[in-house]
């Protein structure tokens, strides 16, 4: 088995696997002739000299870590001498050890305090319900686009019957507020509804469309106060006071429902047109 193994090796593999044994005079007999032939080549002969010098340096370094008998006895005397120290010296060592323990415990407590502040700050910052932040314009502008583009895939209930939708919201688990549908003008109809269940709030969403499908209007209702919404230009339509916003593709109006809920309407209608629709229900 060994003969076959050595025979399958390249010259480099054979040389570097056996050079240490060659230096120790232990080259296996079955490969000694081949190894000797390699040593006739200048490149391998030089490598043997390099290995011997490196091996010698390594041995000197290792010898530097060797402890002779006198050094061993001296170290033992240091360890044993501790029991023979005076009471004051021993007390000093004990005090130093206690100070080290107290210092280590203090650093640990400081670390725990800082770590707790970092984690607590992260929870405060990224958990909206903890500090009352819900960016309705950001979230619901996106949701309105998704609902209009994929109403069947995004809505829980698809129906043109307003009473079915009001019943859906009334029976929705833990919704916590009432949703009143809009009275849309002629040529428009309700298409369906869903509840968007965020970790920090629930939002009722109703989709209305023109009968020919050319335009859409989305109504969002959720628990909030007027001051939770961004400040904006305020308009008035009858008894309705609303704030209006605009984006590149849509207009938005928001208003308070008077029962700790707010409504946001999103669509391509003008703010005044949407306000007229909202005021008609009131």
pLDDT value of position 130: 40
pLDDT value of position 44: 78
Residue of 38, 33, 30 lying closest to 13 (CA atoms):
38
Secondary structure of the chain in the HEC alphabet?
CHHHHHHHCCHHHHHHHHHHHHHCCCCCHHHHHHHHHHHCCHHHHHHHHHHHHHHHHHHHHHHCCCCCHHHHHHHHHHHHHHHHCCHHHHHHHHHHHHHHHHHHHHHHHHHHHHHHHHHHHHHHHHCHHHHCCCCHHHHHHHHHHHHHHCHHHHCCEECCCHHHHHHHHHHCCCCCCCCCCCCCCCCEEEEEEEEEECCCCEEEEEEEEECCCCCEEEEEEEECCHHHCCCCEEEEECCEEEEEEECCCCEEEEEECCCCEEEEEEECCCHHHHHHHHHHHC
pLDDT value of position 1: 41
pLDDT value of position 133: 64
pLDDT value of position 273: 92
CA distance 71 to 240: 96
Q: Give the bridge partners for 240, in sequence order.
A: 237
Is domain 134-281 classified as CATH 3.30.200.100?
yes
Q: What angle do CA 141, 267, 165 make, to 5 degrees?
A: 85
Provide the angle, in degrees to the nearest 10, between the axes of the packed helices 29-39 and 11-23. Answer: 100
Residue of 21, 89, 273 lying closest to 2 (CA atoms):
21
- pTM, whole model, 2 decimals? 0.53
CA distance 151 to 208: 10
| All structural domains of the chain with their residue ranges | 2-63, 85-126, 134-281
Tokens (6 digits) for 106: 């203090």
Residues of the chain falling short of pLDDT 50: 1-3, 124, 127-132
pLDDT value of position 100: 61
């Amino acid at each position: 088995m060994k003969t076959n193994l050595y025979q399958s090796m390249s010259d480099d593999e054979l040389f570097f696997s056996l050079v240490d044994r060659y230096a120790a005079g232990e080259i296996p007999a079955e490969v000694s002739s081949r190894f000797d032939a390699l040593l006739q080549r200048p490149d391998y002969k030089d490598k043997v000299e390099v290995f011997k010098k490196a091996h010698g340096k390594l041995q000197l370094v290792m010898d530097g870590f060797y402890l002779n008998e006198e050094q061993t006895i001296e170290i033992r005397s240091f360890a044993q001498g501790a029991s023979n120290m005076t009471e004051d010296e021993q007390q000093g060592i004990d005090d130093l050890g206690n100070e080290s323990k107290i210092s280590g415990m203090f650093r640990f407590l400081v670390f725990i305090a800082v770590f707790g502040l970092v984690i607590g700050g992260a929870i405060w910052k990224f958990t909206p319900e903890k500090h009352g932040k819900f960016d309705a314009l950001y979230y619901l502008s996106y949701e309105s686009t998704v609902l209009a583009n994929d109403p069947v895939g995004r809505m829980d209930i698809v129906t043109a019957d307003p009473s079915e939708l009001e019943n859906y919201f009334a029976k929705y688990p833990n919704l916590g507020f009432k949703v009143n549908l809009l009275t849309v003008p002629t040529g428009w109809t309700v298409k369906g509804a869903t509840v968007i269940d965020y970790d920090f709030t629930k939002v009722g969403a109703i989709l209305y469309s023109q009968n020919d499908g050319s335009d859409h209007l989305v109504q969002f209702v959720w628990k909030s106060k007027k001051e939770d919404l961004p400040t904006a230009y305020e308009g008035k339509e009858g008894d309705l006071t609303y704030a209006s916003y605009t984006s590149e593709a849509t207009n938005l109006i928001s208003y308070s429902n008077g029962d700790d809920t707010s409504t946001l309407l999103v669509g391509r209608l003008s703010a005044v047109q949407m306000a007229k629709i909202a005021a008609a229900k009131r």
